[in-house]
Amino acid sequence: MFGRMFKLCILLIVLPLSMSMARAADVVLYSSNNVETVNRVLDGFAKAHPDIKVSVVRAGTGALMQRIKAEANNPLGDIFWSGGLSTISEFRDQLAPYASPQAAAVPAAYRGPDNLWLGTNTHVTVLMANLKQVPQGQLPKGWEDLADPKWKGKIVIPDPERSSASFVAMYGLHKQLGLETLTKIARNAVIVGTTSAAYEGVAKGEFAVAVTMEYAGYEYIAGGMKEIKLIYPAEGTFLSPEGMAIIKNGKNPEPARKLYEYLASKETQTEVFKSAYRRPLRQDIDVSALAALPKLSDVSIVQLDDAAMGAQRAEFIAQWRQIISAR
């Protein structure tokens, strides 16, 4: 009897300890990526780390960063993946430094100061065209072409106030070609509320050309739509790099770092590209060998100052509203 009671006492002592250890192995991921991408990656992580349970909170980058800031005194998340670097940089005080061995594969321009974040992938701004809808079957070669009155009502642009990728594109266009060209293009365009409404509109034949992201347009090409073409503007285009970070004072730093390493790995980022065409920032992944897309080094890129872009966002959006209201 005493032996059984002794064993039961030992079990009652060990059980809470083991449950506590199990909880300590959990990690909370804040992510703005779509459900399919998150689930696919976490399925792989579960196989590699069956002892770690990942809980996911999904929302837009801005909303999640505001949440991380609001939770600063009692962080409920452990890691964020992934959002625009310009947005992430505004919340650097809420991030914890982590020197990942994977960082060496990513250009220094996409690594945060003191290792506060690491670039994972980048969106490339493209013109997505539907050959059945372009005037006289002639594709535009660049931004300047879209200023021609013949494109009136045939261009679709997501509202840059609601779409971060469109904001980068319109801000970049303003910086590169000036207010006059931006105004002509905007006045030719139909402005829609979401990024998806733009590329879906071109795919359905509702518009001839969309200002959108490379991966979104390429999904239709990979799916067999031969009438869809991607155009990298002759004057140069813009990048919207994204990254991830460890949340400062998160309750589960060790499993968070393991998830961080998994997300940063060449294998994971290759799989994300194969399934979702999100172009990785790692220099050791050649996307041109995996899909009918150019190497990033072969695309003319106009470099933008992320800090200046963030600081000038409100001013630019106010100017954009004036352009649209005067149409």
Please give the annotated binding residues for Fe cation, written as ranges: 215
DSSP state of 208: S
d(CA 25, CA 255): 6
Q: Which amino acid type is present at position 227?
A: E
211, 192 contact by CB (below 8 A): no
Q: Which has the closest alpha carbon to 160: 193, 137, 184, 136? A: 193
Q: Which has the closest alpha carbon to 274: 252, 298, 257, 290? A: 290
- Tokens at 228, concatenated: 């869809």
d(CA 133, CA 207): 7
DSSP state of 104: G
Angle 164-177/313-325 helices, nearest 10 degrees? 80
253, 13 contact by CB (below 8 A): no
Where do the H-state alpha helices sit in the chain? 2-24, 35-48, 61-70, 85-89, 164-177, 179-188, 195-203, 214-222, 253-264, 266-276, 306-311, 313-325
Residues 6+ apart with CB under 8 A from 132: 205, 227
Q: How far is CA 251 from CA 23, 63, 73, 74, 116, in A?
A: 10, 21, 12, 9, 17
Cross-strand pairs, 122: 241, 279
Please give the annotated binding residues, written as ranges: 215
Q: Give SS3 for 82.
A: strand
